[in-house]
Amino acid sequence: MSRRRQILLLAAVGLIAAASGFGMHWWRLSGASSGAEAVMRLRLPDLAGQEQAMSQWHGRVLIVNFWATWCAPCREEIPAFVKLQAKYGARGAQFVGIAIDQRDKVADFAREFGINYPVLLAGIDMVEVTRQAGNRVGALPYTLVFDREGRIVASELGKAKETELEQRLRSLL
């Protein structure tokens, strides 16, 4: 096979691979559910083992934080979430942590940090849900803010900025 044919063949294979990758990405994001719907359909166990439906918080300003105990930025941002839940919970804000971690480690962490909002447990497959909700790299922490109608109005990959989050909460409450 000539050098020119080899280059054309490689280019064609590359284009086919790129097109199928784009198609799969588009299909995943535009399927039966949006990222918001994927999160709101979740049913996950809490630290006591009781299944909780995310839909129970529909109608509140919902802040969903995907995190893990081994994640340094996650550990740094949680005290701000505790503070903001205490400050704005009575006005309709609801923080929910979804820990991609082991129950015992999460329970110890929640006690140590005085987490005052629901913490749900998930496996590594939860990363795919975060991708559907806009987390293209699948990294932690990842925080979503939902308005009272259940629409995602903000997202943050990495440590959430407390002042920006508080401003967002005030505007939604």
Question: pLDDT digit string (tens) for 152-167?
Answer: 999 999 999 999 999 9
155 is annotated as an active-site residue: no
- Domain limits, the chain: 1-31, 35-172
Instruction: Determine the average pLDDT of the residues in 88-111.
Output: 98
Which of 44, 71, 119, 144 is the catalytic position?
Answer: 71
User: Tokens 């609801």, residue?
Assistant: 94
Question: pLDDT digit string (tens) for 56-73?
Answer: 999 999 999 999 999 999
Instruction: Determine the average pLDDT of the residues in 35-39.
Output: 92
Q: Is 54 exposed, middle or buried (0-12, 13-18, 19+ CB in 10 A)?
A: buried
Contacts of residues 109-113 at CB distance under 8 Å and 24 or more positions apart, as own/partner, are: 109/69, 109/75, 110/47, 113/75, 113/78, 113/79, 113/82
Question: pLDDT digit string (tens) for 122-157?
Answer: 999 899 999 999 999 999 999 999 999 999 999 999
Task: Say which CATH superfamily domain 35-172 falls into.
Answer: Glutaredoxin (3.40.30.10)
74 is annotated as an active-site residue: yes
Which of 44, 62, 64, 74 is the catalytic position?
Answer: 74
Query: In the numeric block, which tokens belong to residue 91?
Result: 């006005």
What pTM was computed for the model? 0.80
